[in-house]
Amino acid sequence: MDCHKSYALLITGILGGAAVVFLGLCISGKSAALGNPIALLGLFAMLGSIGQAFVFYKCPHCGFHLNIRGPKPDYCPNCGRKL
Predicted TM-score (pTM) of this structure: 0.83
* pLDDT tens per residue, range 3-42: 889 999 999 999 999 999 999 999 887 777 888 899 999 9
Residues 14, 19, 23, 26, CA torsion sign: positive
Considering the chain, what is the average pLDDT of its residues? 90
Give Cβ neighbours of residue 37 (< 8 Å, ≥ 6 apart): 24
* pLDDT tens per residue, range 11-22: 999 999 999 999
Comparing CA positions, the residue from 20, 10, 8 lying closest to residue 48 is: 10
Average pLDDT of the segment spanning 51-64: 91
Q: Which amino acid makes up residue 33? A: A
